[in-house]
Structure 1
Amino acid sequence: MPLVRFDVLKGKSESQIASMLDAAHRAIVRSFDVPERDRYQIVQEHEKSHVRLEDTGLGIQRTDDVVVVNVVSRPRSEEAKIRFYQDLVEELSSNCGIAPSDVIVSFTINSDADWSFGHGRAQFLTGDL
């Protein structure tokens, strides 16, 4: 935990996707100090014609390498989130060739009661985690 979802344009190879997931996981582990095996990632591919990602008037140029990263997580400090934004773009840039201008990140925060990792149990509440 956190659960990280990636929305990308169709056409990436399996190795490109694996590299992206590994890079993002390194950023998660560093920024949020989570265990190495605390890894929950999902990739969704989209046709180019089904995606519109502009720049909110910031003048940011996007390419076909654009990736939207949605993070569902327990509360994190502003400092940790800012560190994650930087770690993520550095990892994706240096390991995947994805420009920082092509990385969009959004957080959805939830509570301990909002997670079950299996067996119908709320592990954060039961003390299993």
Structure 2
Amino acid sequence: MPLLHFHIREGRSEEDVTKLLNSAHEAMLDVFQVPRGDRYQIVSEHKGSHFIVEDTGLGIPRTEKVVLLQVFSRPRGQEKTAEFYKVLTERLEAECGILPSDVMVSVVENQDAHWSFGNGRAQFLTGEL
């Protein structure tokens, strides 16, 4: 059920984007134990001049492979969220060659009433999920 919205610089190959999405989904499966078919991912590509990701004064170097990931999800708790950051960056480095310093994540938490998976119904509230 988490919705992942990836923001990347334009120019990556289809294969690279697929690896990025697959790696992130595997991290979701490992940490949040979502069902395998619970996969909602969007990629937005941006011109370099339209995509600025700085380091917030932390001295974190960025490269052209920088990824900004917005995760929309029910609350997962601080420990699981922190674990997700770690597992995600490990997978992205191992499987995609993306350095941990090039991964910025923002989690936006919401509640069950904020999700409809189709048919005009709130499946978490109706008990369908």
**TM-score range normalised by the length of the shorter chain:** over 0.9
Aligned to 1:90: 90
1:110 aligns with 2:110: yes
The answer for the alignment partner of 1:13 in structure 2 is: 13
Runs of 4+ in 1 over 3 A off after TM superposition: none
Report the secondary structure of 2:85's partner residue: helix
Percent identity over the alignment is 55
- Aligned equivalents of 1:69, 1:104: Cα separation in 2: 6
TM-score normalized by the length of structure 2 = 0.99
User: How far did residue 51 of structure 1 move?
Assistant: 1.3
**What is the RMSD of the two structures over their aligned residues, measured on CA atoms?**
0.5
Following TM superposition, by how much is the alpha carbon of 1:86 offset from its aligned partner in structure 2, in angstroms? 0.4
**For residues 42-100 of structure 1, what are the alpha-carbon distances to aligned partners after superposition, in whole Å with 9 as ceiling and x for unaligned?**
00000001111111111011000000010000011101101100010011000000000
In the alignment, structure 2 segments of 5+ residues that lack a partner are: none
* SS of residue matched to 2:22: helix
**After the TM superposition, which residues 1-129 of structure 1 pair with which residues of structure 2 at under 5 Å, given as runs?**
1-129=1-129
Q: How far apart, CA to CA, are the structure 2 residues paired with 1:52 and 1:122?
A: 36
- Give the Cα–Cα distance (whole angstroms) in 1 for the partners of residues 48 and 77 of structure 2: 34
Question: C-alpha offsets along residues 23-54 of structure 1, whole Å, 9 cap, x if unaligned?
Answer: 00000111111111110000000000111111
**Cα distance in 2 for residues equivalent to 1:30 and 1:111:** 22
**Aligned mates of 2:56, 2:42 — CA distance in 1:** 26
Q: C-alpha distance in 2, partners of 1:52/1:116?
A: 32
